[in-house]
Amino acid sequence: MELLKKNVNKRKEILGGEIADILKNHADTTVGEIKVKQLLGGMRGMTSLVCNTSFVDPYKGLFISEYSIPEFEDRLPEEIFYLLCAGKFPDDDEMAELREEINARSKLPKFMWSFIRSLPKKMHPMTLFSMCILSMEGRSVFKQNYGTPEMTKAQYWEYTLEDSLNLLSKLPTIAAAIYRIHLLGKQPIDYSPRLDWSNNLAQMLGVNSERSFSELLRLYLVLHCDHEGGNVSAFTSRVVNSALSNIYYAASAGLNGLAGPLHGLANQVCLQFIQGIHAQLGDSPTTDDITAYINNELENGRVIPGYGHAVLRITDPRFSAFMEFGNKYCPNSAYLQTVKKLYYVVPNILKDYKGGKVANPYPNVDAISGSLLYHYGIKKYGFYTVLFGLSRVLGFCAQSVLALGLNQPIIRPKSVTNKWLKDKLEKQ
């Protein structure tokens, strides 16, 4: 992977130069303030991290390098990984090298097949996915070489890149094996070196041979890849890796955060939510009925899944990209129709809910993704977050490669007690 390494190295030098300049001129400059409500409110809106793989503009959405979603949504996940790491799309030679590397590393270790088969059938697919990744931790070349004279600190990123490619190359096969063996009770389908990541995944899942299905998976893997550094999964993964726990530990940890209903599990919960609406109101509910349903959910203290965001203040452009796909390929899907009706109804309700307390009343990516997967035959919704995770590991890996390349230290913010806070505030 000489070309990829060369390009990451180039980027690392540019970003490293910028950091050196910033530190030289501004090491003690204050760039923000911390309000008590932020300290006690999940650090919301507190600028406390630098992450160079991607950036989320509250009013424009995700950017990878300078590219907005419409500018990268047609690419392959492999190209997106390149962009996250190297800050540029690969040319033909660079892409050929990456494809070769992925194929060469795609074979699962032998134990993995019996491991997957041995895991209890009732385990959530995210638990299985995270455990499968963790089970390969002993194979980390970072771990194996750490502390040897051959591995200097300046090379940590290279070993992490090596581990990342080893891991990423196996993920579609692992995810598909979980779907087929655990959720369908069927035999796995072989990986094909002729196919790219998303086409391979589509083939190995074996649920739908329509071209638009692999197109949906491609889009899905591209849209979920990264969402800057402060979200639960990316931050967890980065914190774990900052202790020099290898990328297998870090990816597994990040996925455990993604598995929560306020984060990645929301795509599963959204599908269940829509199914609940259809079970109660029929397959073509009216907007009036949906309004009553939503009000009832809120009165019972439940959150509306797929709505709201910690950073975004608009309809998530990832939601819009999926909507465009749905309108093109499956406009008559009953679930998609309900997604649209929810989009018409929910923001207006959330705007006034709790006296206008909901910071973003608009839909996020999870409000629609599951309905599209369901339409194409992925009906075991426990798998939806695995697909989210499969894509998000691209971001975890790229973030750690860059952070180690830029010599970023272990992450260790300071916490305080109520007493400390009260004393401090009394003195002011």
The interface region with ligand FCX, picked from 114-122, 204-212, 302-310, 415-423 by CB under 6 A, is 302-310
| Contact present, 130 and 252 (Cβ < 8 Å) | yes
Q: Which of 196, 226, 316, 366 is an active site residue?
A: 366
Report which of 322, 320, 327 is spatially closest to residue 219, judged by C-alpha positions. 322
Q: Name beta bridge partners: 56.
A: 62
The interface region with ligand FCX, picked from 100-108, 115-123, 353-361, 405-413 by CB under 6 A, is 353-361
Q: How many CB atoms lie within 10 A of CB 194?
A: 10
Q: Which is nearer to ligand FCX, 62 or 76 (CB)?
A: 62
Q: Which is nearer to ligand FCX, 159 or 383 (CB)?
A: 383
Q: Which is nearer to ligand FCX, 175 or 311 (CB)?
A: 311
**Which residue's C-beta sits nearest to ligand FCX?**
308
| Contact present, 133 and 167 (Cβ < 8 Å) | yes
Task: List the helix and strand counts (H, then E) for the chain.
Answer: 20, 3
Q: Which of 182, 224, 309, 375 is an active site residue?
A: 309
Taking the complex as a whole, the smallest distance from the CB of residue 310 to ligand FCX amounts, in Å, to 4
Q: Which long-range contacts (CB under 8 A, 24 or more apart) does 114-118 make?
A: 116/174, 116/177, 116/178, 116/181, 116/182, 117/181
Report which of 371, 287, 308 is spatially closest to residue 336, judged by C-alpha positions. 371
Judge whether 366 counts as a catalytic residue.
Answer: yes
Instruction: Report how far residue 76's alpha carbon sits from residue 202's, in angstroms, rounded to the nearest whole number.
Output: 13
| Contact present, 80 and 64 (Cβ < 8 Å) | yes
**x-or-dash pattern for ligand FCX, window 165-194, by CB under 6 A?**
------------------------------
Which positions from 189 through 248 interact with ligand FCX, judged by CB under 6 A?
Answer: 231
- Does 250 engage in binding with ligand FCX (CB under 6 A)? no
Q: Which is nearer to ligand FCX, 182 or 392 (CB)?
A: 392
Q: Which is nearer to ligand FCX, 254 or 405 (CB)?
A: 254
The interface region with ligand FCX, picked from 12-20, 151-159, 356-364, 373-381 by CB under 6 A, is 356-364
- Does 357 engage in binding with ligand FCX (CB under 6 A)? yes
HSE of 164, CA atoms in CB hemisphere, 13 A: 31
Write the DSSP string, 169-182: HHHHHHHHHIIIII
> Which residue in the set 44, 117, 186, 379 belongs to the binding site for ligand FCX (CB under 6 A)?
44
- Does 305 engage in binding with ligand FCX (CB under 6 A)? yes
Which positions from 252 through 281 interact with ligand FCX, judged by CB under 6 A?
Answer: 262-264, 266
> Residues of 9-19 as b/e, b for ≥16 C-beta within 10 angstroms?
eebbeebeeee
Q: Which is nearer to ligand FCX, 172 or 363 (CB)?
A: 363
Q: Residues touching ligand FCX: how many (CB under 6 A)? A: 22
Which positions from 73 through 132 interact with ligand FCX, judged by CB under 6 A?
Answer: none
Instruction: Report how far residue 310's alpha carbon sits from residue 35's, in angstroms, rounded to the nearest whole number.
Output: 17
- Does 307 engage in binding with ligand FCX (CB under 6 A)? yes
Taking the complex as a whole, the smallest distance from the CB of residue 41 to ligand FCX amounts, in Å, to 8
Q: Which of 263, 278, 288, 375 is an active site residue?
A: 263
- Does 341 engage in binding with ligand FCX (CB under 6 A)? no
- Does 143 engage in binding with ligand FCX (CB under 6 A)? no
Which positions from 308 through 337 interact with ligand FCX, judged by CB under 6 A?
Answer: 308-310
Judge whether 263 counts as a catalytic residue.
Answer: yes
Sheet holding 61-64, edge to edge: 54-57, 61-64, 67-68
Chain position carrying tokens 């990832």: 318
Instruction: Report how far residue 101's alpha carbon sits from residue 319's, in angstroms, rounded to the nearest whole number.
Output: 32
Amino acid at 193: P
- Does 366 engage in binding with ligand FCX (CB under 6 A)? yes
Instruction: Report how far residue 334's alpha carbon sits from residue 283's, in angstroms, rounded to the nearest whole number.
Output: 6
Instruction: Decide the pairing of beta strands 61-64 and 54-57.
Output: antiparallel
Q: Which is nearer to ligand FCX, 68 or 103 (CB)?
A: 68
- Does 364 engage in binding with ligand FCX (CB under 6 A)? yes
Binding positions for ligand FCX, rule: CB under 6 A: 44, 231, 262-264, 266, 303-310, 354, 357-360, 364-366
Q: Which positions are annotated as active-site residues?
A: 263, 309, 366
